[in-house]
Amino acid sequence: MRTIRDTTARLDSSRLTAAERQSNESPAEALVRRYGKSASGSVSPPSVASRAGGDDALMTTLKTHRFATAVRWSGDHLMHVSAAGRPELTVGASAEFRGGLEDVWSPEDLLVAAVASSYAITLSALAASHGVPLHSLDVVAAGDATRRVEGSFGFTVIELDVSIATDRPHEDSARTIAELAAEGCLVTASLSTPVRVSAEIHAASRTA
C-alpha cells in the first residue's frame, strides 16, 4: 500500500496547482488536461513545454463551487440531512459509540463513503478520457479512528482496496490512473488524514 504522500516524487508532474483546484474543471478533468495519451493509448506525463502557461490561462476561469446541506434534529441521536433536489438522508450516531444506532448511516460512515465514491468517480473519469476500458470497478473502504498524535480523537488513516477489470494490454495504464485518481480526488485532497490505496488490476475474462 502507498499513501498519497508516498507517491509525491513519482507523480509530481501530475500534482494539481491551487489554480486548477479552483477552476471550472473537476479535479479529474484537470488531471486529464495535464496528462496526455501516448500512441498506444497509455497514460503518460506531459512535457514541460506542454504545461507552460497553463496556470495563467486557468486564472481567467476561477470559480468557487458551493455545496449546501441542512441538518434537522429529530430527537436522541437521530438527524435528517437534506439538500436541494435530493432524497432526505437519515443519519445517526455510530453504533461504535455509546447510544449509537445500528440501522442508520453515521457521519463516520458517510466520510469514508465520500472518500471511496469520490475516488471511484475520479478514476472512472480518467479511464474514459484515456481510453482505458473498465469492465468492473470495486472500491472497499475502511477508516480507523482513534486517539491521534496531537491528542484529538479522529481518523488516522482511510484505506481503499480497489479492484479493476480491464482489457489487455491496458493493465499498466489502469494501475497508473488508479494512483492518479487518489491525487485528483476532491474529497481526499480536502483531508489531512492519510488515504492509502491498494489496487488489484486484472484482465477481464472473455467468453467465446
User: Which residue type occupies 18?
Assistant: A
User: In a 3-state reduction of DSSP, which class is residue 180?
Assistant: helix
* Grid cell digits, residue 24: 471550472
Question: Would the pLDDT of 67 be above 80?
Answer: yes
For residues 41 and 172, what is the distance between their CA atoms, to the nearest angstrom? 11
CB 106 within 8 A of CB 92: yes
Which bin fits 186, alpha (ψ -120 to 50), beta or left (φ > 0)? Answer: alpha
The helix or strand, by DSSP H or E, that contains position 197, with its residue range, turns out to be strand 195-203
Average pLDDT (81-109) is 89
CA angle 37, 135, 7 (to 5 degrees): 50
Instruction: Say how many residues make up the chain.
Output: 208
Between 33 and 205, residue with greater pLDDT: 205
The helix or strand, by DSSP H or E, that contains position 129, with its residue range, turns out to be helix 107-129
Question: Would the pLDDT of 77 be above 80?
Answer: yes
Domain ranges of the chain: 2-203
Question: Would the pLDDT of 82 be above 90?
Answer: yes
For residues 179 and 51, what is the distance between their CA atoms, to the nearest angstrom? 21
Can you tell me which residue has the cell 483531508? 191
CA 165 to chain centre: 18
The topology (CATH level 3) of 2-203 is: GMP Synthetase; Chain A, domain 3 (3.30.300)
**What per-residue confidence (pLDDT) applies to 34?**
55
- The reply to whether the predicted model has a pTM over 0.75 is no
The CA distances from residue 163 to 98, 123, 202, in Å, are: 35, 12, 8
Per DSSP bridges, beta strands 153-166 and 195-203 are parallel
Where residue 39 falls among pLDDT bands split at 50, 70, 90? very low
Q: Is 122 exposed, middle or buried (0-12, 13-18, 19+ CB in 10 A)?
A: buried
Where residue 206 falls among pLDDT bands split at 50, 70, 90? low
